[in-house]
Amino acid sequence: MKAAKLEPLQEAIENDWRDSISSMEYYIDELEKDIDHGAVMNTGVIRDWCKEIEGLLTDLSQNLFTVDEPEWFRDSDRQELEELRQKVDQLNGKCKNIMTTVH
């Protein structure tokens, strides 16, 4: 009986978690587009632009690394989260690369 009562709660938590991850994935994809565009921007504005992007990436990274992963979550959910963490790290490297090319 106890497990039956927990199922709706677990399902609600999973759905909320997936919605949050999906939102972060959307913003990461948008930042990736911005970073790709930034690679061809005027060098006079790149430094300030990169600092802004790095701040956003730092915030996203902190959020991704503090996301709680209940033990009953599927491996595919954990894998998706790990892939997003790696993508943020890659984008951070890409942004730093752009910065080094303008110095």
* Tens-digit pLDDT string for the chain (103 aa): 466 777 888 888 888 988 999 999 999 999 999 888 877 777 777 888 888 888 999 999 998 888 877 787 888 888 999 999 999 999 999 988 888 887 5
Count of residues in the chain: 103
- CB of 24 closer than 8 Å to CB of 60: yes
> Mind listing the domains of the chain with CATH numbers?
2-102 (1.20.58)
Model's pTM, two decimal places?
0.80
